[in-house]
Amino acid sequence: MKRKTFLARGLVFAAAFTLCAGLALPRPALAAEQTAAKAEDKARAVELVTLDGGVAAGKSDLPPVSFFHSKHEAIKDCATCHTAPAKDGGVWSWDFKNSASALGASGDVKDFYHSSCVTCHEDGASKGFESGPGIAECRSCHVAADVAVPGDAKRATVDFSMGSELHDLHMESSGIEANDDGLNCGACHHVYDAEAKKLVPDYEPAEGCRSCHGESAVANPANPGSMILSFKDASHSACISCHLDMSLPTSCDSCHSVAGQ
Amino acid sequence: MENLFNILTGPCLYIAMAVFTIGLIGRFVLYFLGLDWKLDRVAYKAHMGQGLKGGVHSALKWLVPFATHGWRSQPLAAIGFFLLHIGVVLVPIFLLGHNVILQQRLGFSLPTLPQGVADALTILSLVGLAIMLLRRLLLPNVRILTTGQDYFLIVLVLIPLVTGFLAVQGFGDYKALMLCHIISGEVLLVLAPFTKLSHIALYFASRMQIGMDYAIKRGGRTRESGAFFPW
């Protein structure tokens, strides 16, 4: 081989390997950014939403998608992702819209969320908005969350509980429709009227919410075929729907953090 | 940045796939249109059935590791060849991530490989590529046939393999690696019909032709195995 061609080939390979190596090595600036982002992420664990779509851990090659809800709040219109009430004054359903029917027995979680989430990201990007990852960036969404995920013990520390101060605030609020005796209780508290087969306001609540609403949805014994929502779904539906109607804060940390409350 | 990904996985992807598919089909058709039975001294049309039998047999048999005398006589080259080609054919077509893009863009997808299998095949491909490259550099009879284009193509195949693998393994800057992966992959698709990468289609053309040749003459009509030349 001529010396010159040998050198030329050597250079081509050296260039290719340098390029690959350069891209592969963690860049110091980026590493610092990532560390900062992770510290910030820990503080925001409360608003981490995980879309596992019911896929058991280890069943998928990639970790389930975890994202921060606040990254999507600039969209403003909740109905982009959630189901608005059918009539005025009704409550929202905060599951991802259509997920229950789309993810039924034969539903493909992957296709459903790809066509819902990624299509929106790509539409947004093509319209010039700051937008989420496109279809080729698998691991920009499928990242193992480095913060406590739902169900994790660490997460419990940021769980919301309606302390007495907040409860008083709601009891005394003039913005909430009161019943005849001037108390607000019936606006939130209800009982199931088995004869009328509907929820009716409970003006003298004796039992707490969790006496019916448990960790997960259960069949309603008084009305076969209907479900009693989980405590999480029931409270998100009721509280956020009302906050939306009254233009009160709806971001995760406005309830789920001491500072927010 | 996100819009760049949109363009690369949208219009650019469609163009690359169209050039690749139409280009290779064109090369394949032109190959056969360019055959001249008088020049080749093979009566292709007179013995089409016998010829095709031998042609298909030849094209398939050379795809099986060590099935032919040719492969058995140079085992290291055979190992390098199959390690490289099994990975670079199976992984791009059946990778989960690629099929997610297919599903999103074209509404259909193919069965997919488990990620661990894809990772292993990619590593084996890199080993195969290294063997093939060393062979090209060290054997004088291969080196003399080698041009700059061959080295360029080796690098062009190497870049999407390495960047894709590193991105999946979580090394480096994910977005930069993915950009590099997509761009190099699309350049590869576009260049395939116009470079030696056209062997993706022309392998089948030239192997078919030789198979026909051996099935029609060179003993094909009198041999005990008939059209099936014992390659």
B124-180: per-residue pLDDT in tens?
999 999 999 999 999 999 999 999 999 999 999 999 999 999 999 988 899 999 999
- Chains A & B: contacts with CB separation below 8 Å: 93
Give residue B158's pLDDT: 97
Q: What's the gap between Cα B107 and its chain centre?
A: 25
pLDDT, one tens digit per residue, over B22-49 is: 999 999 999 999 999 888 888 888 888 8
Provide, rounded to the nearest whole percent, the portion of chain B with pLDDT above 90: 84
Do B177 and A122 lie within an 8 Å CB cutoff? Answer: no
Could you tell me the domains of chain A?
44-159 (3.90.10.10), 160-247 (3.90.10.10)
> Which among B61, B32, B31, B30 has a CA at the least distance from the CA of B44?
B32
Question: B67 vs B39, B71, B90, B124, CA distance in Å?
Answer: 31, 7, 20, 20
CA separation for the pair B10, B28 (Å, rounded): 27
- Scored b (16 or more CB within 10 A) or e, B86-121 reads ebbebbbebbbbbbbbbbbeeeebeebbeeeebeeb
Give residue A29's pLDDT: 52
Rounded to the nearest angstrom, the minimum Cα separation between A93 and chain B is 27
Do A13 and B155 lie within an 8 Å CB cutoff? Answer: yes
Give residue A3's pLDDT: 61
Give residue A156's pLDDT: 42
CA separation for the pair B113, B91 (Å, rounded): 8
Please tell me which of the candidates B2, B171, B182 has its beta carbon nearest to residue A131. Answer: B2
DSSP E strands, chain A: 48-51, 65-68, 190-193, 198-201, 218-219, 227-228
Rounded to the nearest angstrom, the minimum Cα separation between A76 and chain B is 21
Give residue A247's pLDDT: 84
Give residue A154's pLDDT: 44
Give residue A148's pLDDT: 46
Rounded to the nearest angstrom, the minimum Cα separation between A62 and chain B is 9
Please tell me which of the candidates A12, A20, A27 has its beta carbon nearest to residue B151. Answer: A12
Cα dihedral sign for B186, B190, B191, B197? positive
The CATH number of the structural domain formed by B2-216 is 1.20.950
Give residue B22's pLDDT: 98
Give residue A146's pLDDT: 58
pLDDT, one tens digit per residue, over B60-91 is: 999 999 999 999 999 999 999 999 999 999 99
> Which residues of chain B are within 8 Å of residue A114 when distances are taken between CB atoms?
100, 103-104
Give residue B219's pLDDT: 81
> Which residues of chain A are within 8 Å of residue B3 when distances are taken between CB atoms?
125-126, 128
> Which residues of chain B are within 8 Å of residue A9 when distances are taken between CB atoms?
148, 151
* B125 close to B161: Cβ distance less than 8 angstroms: yes
**Per-residue pLDDT of chain A in tens (261 residues, 90 and over written 9):** 566 666 666 666 666 666 656 565 555 455 555 555 555 655 566 777 878 766 655 567 788 888 888 888 888 888 899 988 887 777 888 888 888 777 776 667 888 899 999 999 999 999 988 899 999 999 888 887 655 444 454 444 455 667 777 788 888 888 887 777 777 888 888 888 888 888 888 877 778 888 888 888 888 887 877 888 888 888 888 888 888 888 888 887 777 766 666
- A193: β partners: A198
Say if residue B227's pLDDT is above 70: yes
Give residue A119's pLDDT: 93
For an interface test with B, the pick among A61, A119, A130, A142 (most B C-beta atoms closer than 10 Å) comes out as A61
What residue spans define the domains of chain B? Answer: 2-216
> Which among B210, B159, B147, B162 has a CA at the least distance from the CA of B184?
B159
Give residue A151's pLDDT: 47
Cα dihedral B79, B81, B87, B93, rounded to 10, equals -150
